[in-house]
Amino acid sequence: MNVISAAMYQSKHTRAPHPVFTIDSIPLGNWIKGVIYDAIGNDDTDGLVPAQGWLTDDDHSRYAWQVLEPNAEDSSTIVPLLICPDDMDLSCTVAVVEQVIRGETVIWERFGRAVDIVSGVITAVAWNEKNQRALFQKVQFQDALSAFKRLTEHEWV
């Protein structure tokens, strides 16, 4: 099993630390690779910021938080995780994960890039071929999610 947690971290293109998820103590943008590329083909995933907390549209922000919550068992949800810090919306660069709930396990099955969004809902994804996968205990995942919300709402300035 992997360990997910919330921490303050300064991303590549930000001026100050902000809340991020870490997997096995590595900031999410650094942990996932091969999802977002710049104009010359370099992996630029580590330059993204969390969708949760950065989205400026209130409806999109609620959506991003809501779909991150582990809900129905044996279900799959596409969750926006990282976005471009310049645009702060779902219309530009969005790294997503397919989140699967099985019993007491939250599985981040595969990562990709949103390629189509309709009314703030991700409708098509280009999946990463690297097949990175993370498994978390549901209780530990929910603790990390609570800590991330606390950092976002109360400690991030």
pLDDT, position 28:
95
Instruction: Work out the number of other CB atoms within 10 angstroms of the CB of residue 75.
Output: 11
Tell me the C-alpha distance between 41 and 82, whole Å.
19
pLDDT at 157: 62
Q: For residue 101, what pLDDT is reported?
A: 96
Q: Which residues pair with 112 in a beta bridge?
A: 96, 127
Domains identified in the chain, total number? 1
What letter represents residue 156's amino acid? W
Nearest CA-CA partner of 60 in 95, 89, 94: 89
Residues 6+ apart with CB under 8 A from 153: none
Ranges of the chain whose pLDDT falls below 50: none
Range of the domain at 71: 4-155
Token pair, residue 139, equals 């209780």
